[in-house]
């Protein structure tokens, strides 16, 4: 969608969400931003306001289904949302403080990751699908990951939750197209953020968040079904996902653990 006027971005207090908020900030634009950290979110809101945007920043838990429904319904009733980017997400891993694998994710950790990364997306987009359908227009951007093309032993729940978002979004694109709603799935590789700052292993083609935001915005403007980048990492992720399972197991067995 070109020139959306009211834009919702979850997870806007850091990383890709923060960069997207600043990329879209400008006169005649309303930004509806959420994040978990009030101090960081207010700082992002202030910078976006300085660029001329009308900003509403709210700290809300995306896993709160009813709370999200009430809040989004209220926002959309006053300022119909043109573009929703469901970006909020967390990561985890199987490594301990010593970086060694073998302990595995705890059940609590895995459930929390699924709750934020998958339920959080559902809680963000579903309150808006009905109103967008009634208006016959709107756009949804679901943030998945290149890690969603195959499971990696370093972060099982993260990979699985992002795979679910990717598959769901690609299916939803076909289902909602007759309603005038555009759906894009966003699959970044390694992007500088508070999540990747914790990684102690090599991250090929690590990209700054502002560059990632420009790629995402351009892809959304062109209504791309899948916005995946950078290209070399995308190709390798796709290739691993296409390999026979036994061969992929051999190749991935020594991938580093995530702390």
The residues annotated as belonging to the active site are: 158
List of residues 6+ apart from 174 with CB closer than 8 A: none
Q: Which residues contact 14 (CB under 8 A, 6 or more apart)?
A: 35, 37, 40, 193, 194
Question: Where in 92-208 does DSSP place strands (E)?
Answer: 138-143, 181-188
Q: Can you say how many angstroms the Cα of residue 86 is from the centroid of all Cα atoms in its chain?
A: 5
Question: What is the Cα 71 distance to its own chain's centre?
Answer: 20
| Backbone phi, psi, residue 152, to 5° | -115, 140
Q: Is 138 left (phi over 0), alpha (psi -120 to 50) or beta?
A: left
CA-wise closest residue to 154 among 199, 210, 215: 199
């Amino acid at each position: 969608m070109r020139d959306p006027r009211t834009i919702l971005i979850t997870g806007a207090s850091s990383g890709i969400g923060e960069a997207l908020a600043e990329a879209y900030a400008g006169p005649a634009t309303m930004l509806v931003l959420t994040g978990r950290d009030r101090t960081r979110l207010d700082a992002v809101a202030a910078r976006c306001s300085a660029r001329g945007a009308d900003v509403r920043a709210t700290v809300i838990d995306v896993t709160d289904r009813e709370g999200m429904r009430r809040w989004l319904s209220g926002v959309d009733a006053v300022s119909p949302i043109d573009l929703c980017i469901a970006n909020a997400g967390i990561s985890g891993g199987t490594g301990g403080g010593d970086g060694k694998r073998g302990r595995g994710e705890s059940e609590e950790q895995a459930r929390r990751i699924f709750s934020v990364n998958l339920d959080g997306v559902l809680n963000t987009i579903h309150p808006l699908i009905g109103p967008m359908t009634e208006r016959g227009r709107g756009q949804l951007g679901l943030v998945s990951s290149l890690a969603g093309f195959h499971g990696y032993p370093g972060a099982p729940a993260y990979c699985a939750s992002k795979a679910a978002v990717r598959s769901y979004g690609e299916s939803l694109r076909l289902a909602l197209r007759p309603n005038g709603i555009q759906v894009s799935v966003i699959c970044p590789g390694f992007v500088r953020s508070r999540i990747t700052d914790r990684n102690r292993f090599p991250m090929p083609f690590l990209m700054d968040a502002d560059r990632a935001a420009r790629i995402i915005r351009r892809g959304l403007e062109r209504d791309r079904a899948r916005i995946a980048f950078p290209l070399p990492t995308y190709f390798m992720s796709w290739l691993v996902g296409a390999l026979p399972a036994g061969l992929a197991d051999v190749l991935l067995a020594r991938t580093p653990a995530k702390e």
